[in-house]
Chains A and B, each alone.
Chain A
Amino acid sequence: MVLNWKLGGLLLGLVFFAAVLLVKPIGVSTQFVILNGVVADLVSPDFITKTDDAYTSTNAYMAKSNGSYAKNAANPLNYSFVFVLAMALGAFLSARLRGGIDAAERAAPEIWRANFGDTPVMRYAVAFLGGFIVLYGARLAGGCTSGHMMSGMMQTALSGYIFAAGAFAAAIPTAMLMYKRG
């Protein structure tokens, strides 16, 4: 069961506040790049290299900002990467404690089945493609729903408002066209 919005919103707001009080604003999408960097460096050890006092990479994106992404990929036991792992753990435990998700819902959500029937393979394909555009877009924008929309607008960042405008301008028509039922 989903929390009442007043309680849920208050709790979510407190988590965002705790993050900025104790460490820094919440963000997630950068860690997809970091994980790619970890994997790429395992496959090809020259991908990330240590210079005198910093890190760099053969990939221009990993090497930007004086190699800050390269540094985090070389040392994945850092705050932001562990944060995302812990986030998954928190969601796992929370879902377990409320009894988990039923089998049909685990394969494809109800809103998908209401519009496209029992087509899990098509659902997986859309989820894959959706993930591709979401992360490409998030990296182009420099952040995602967490970093730009929530953390950004909370800090009155201009970029957060620009991002939210773009995201909803595309998301609302897409959702209305795709999901007429449910």
Chain B
Amino acid sequence: MTSILLAIVIGAAFGAVLDRIGATNPNWIGGMLTLRRLHLMKTILLAIGTGSILMFGGQMLGLVDVGHMSVKAAYVGVFIGGLMLGAGWAASGYCPGTGVCAAASGRKDALFFIAGGLFGAAAYMATYPAWKASGLLDDLAGGKVTLGSVPGASYDGLMAMSGDLLGIVLGAVFVLVAFVLPDSLVGERQPVEVPAE
């Protein structure tokens, strides 16, 4: 039952934060992906960096269980799937998590996104054997690997260097990029007009 309680607390916090940073708002996603308003990109980079530094720092201090890591496999389909997700994300302004949150916050178009998503997931379930047979799901570079070798982790490192130290360094790089990234990378064609909600 503890795990259900944790799911409720962490899940609700995640949904609330996604709502408050603008990730559930297609205007902010569109601003980020057209490179016109990078505010949300800075938010996400800072979040990844913060999470990384805390997690690997906690592991080094023995406060965070390395066994809680869950690393996904690398294969060619990860890149192809990424391309597909990217195209749909840009067109709709939603990804799986933010689409669900947007629908919950009252956006009707997000309900259509979720319906499309359920059909898309069903289509993948039906076509999975063909992908499996194609070899595009076969492990690449060791499959479930981290960039460095994390002490005590059940995953191999791509490089022999200390994975937790590398995680902290990369985390710091994410934070640094968040700070130096300008608010916009292309000239504003229109004044920033994100509607008040």
Contacts and interface: CB of A to CB of B under 8 A. Distances in A.
Interface in A1-34: 1-3, 5-6, 8-26, 28-29, 32-33
B112 A134 contact: no
B26 A109 contact: yes
Contact of B14 (A87, A111, A133, A176): A87
B42 A135 contact: no
A59 B189 CA distance: 49
B10 A83 contact: yes
A94 B106 CA distance: 11
Contact of B55 (A21, A28, A94): A21
Given A101-B107, A128-B115, A174-B90, A13 B47 contact: yes
A109 to B, nearest CB: 4
Nearest to A152: B72
Interface in B141-177: 141-142, 144-148, 150, 158, 163, 166-167, 170-171, 174
B123 A5 contact: no
B10 A22 contact: yes
Nearest to A12: B47
A170 B90 CA distance: 8
Interface residues of A, number: 125
A170 B146 contact: no
Interface in A147-169: 147-148, 150-169
Contacts, number: 521
A60 interface: yes
A130 interface: yes
A20 B107 CA distance: 30
B101 A88 contact: yes
Nearest to A9: B46
Instruction: For chain B, give the interface size range.
Output: 35 or more
Given A88-B104, A111-B93, A166-B82, A105 B72 contact: no
Nearest to A3: B20
Contacts of A176: 33-35
Nearest to A108: B109
A145 B98 CA distance: 9
Contacts of A154: 48, 51-52, 55, 171
Contact of B12 (A32, A86, A100, A182): A86
B125 A128 contact: no
Contacts of A100: 105-106, 197
Interface of B: 3-4, 6-22, 24-28, 30-31, 33-35, 39-40, 42-52, 54-55, 58, 64-65, 68-75, 77-110, 112-126, 128-129, 131-132, 140-142, 144-148, 150, 158, 163, 166-167, 170-171, 174, 178, 189-190, 193-197
Interface of A: 1-3, 5-6, 8-26, 28-29, 32-33, 35-36, 59-62, 64, 77-80, 82-95, 98-102, 105-112, 114, 120, 123-148, 150-172, 174-176, 178-182
